[in-house]
Amino acid sequence: MKLSRRSDYALRAVHHCSKHQVGRLHSINVIAESTQVPREFLAKILKDLTDGGILLSHKGIKGGYTLARKPSEINFLDVIEAVDGPMYLSLCTEPAAGKRKKHARCELCTFWTAQEKSIKQTLRKQHFGRYSKGRK
C-alpha cells in the first residue's frame, strides 16, 4: 500500500504554496526546484490541481500558481483525489468500472471498508493550514 508518485508530488507542490503568503504567485520553475519534482511531470500535476479547484493558474510572463482557497481549507484527501481520482484502498471497496464487475462481497471487505474510512478521515483532518505559519 502506498501513495502514488503523482499524489506524493502534488502534496509537496501544495505544501510549497501553503508556506508562503496567500495570493503570492509561484512559478512552475520555483515549485519544481523547491519540491525536486521533474518540471514536465509537475506541469501535468499542476494542471490537475487547477482543474480540481486546489490551485488557480495565472497566465502571462509573470504568471504562476496560487492556492484557490486558504491553506486551512485544503486537506490531504482533496489533493490526492484531485490528481488520482476517488481513493479506493482495495478492490473490495472499488465500485464497478468499465468492463470490470463490482467485486462480490467477501470476508476481507469488512476490514478494507473500515480501513478506508479511517485513512480517509485522517487525510481529511490533515489540512495545509498546519504548514502556513499563521497565514491560515
**Residues lying near its own copies in the complex (CB under 8 A):** 1-5, 7-8, 11-12, 15, 36, 80, 87-92, 103-104, 106-108, 111-112, 115, 119, 122-123, 126, 131
Do the Cβ atoms of 49 and 16 come closer than 8 Å?
A: no
Closer to its own copies by Cβ: residue 8 or 48: 8
- Closest approach of its own copies to the CB of residue 21, in Å: 17
Closer to its own copies by Cβ: residue 66 or 84: 84
Q: Which helix (H) or strand (E) holds 41?
A: helix 39-51
- Return the C-alpha cell found at 111: 476490514
Question: Which of 78, 77, 59 lies closest to 69, judged by CA?
Answer: 78
Closer to its own copies by Cβ: residue 27 or 126: 126
Extract the runs of DSSP E, i.e. beta strands, from 4-63: 55-58
Closer to its own copies by Cβ: residue 57 or 72: 72
What are the DSSP calls for 71-121, one per residue?
GGG-BHHHHHHHHH-S--SSTTTPPPBTTBPPPPP-TTHHHHHHHHHHHHH
- Closest approach of its own copies to the CB of residue 24, in Å: 18
- Return the C-alpha cell found at 94: 472499488
- Closest approach of its own copies to the CB of residue 62, in Å: 28
- Closest approach of its own copies to the CB of residue 61, in Å: 30
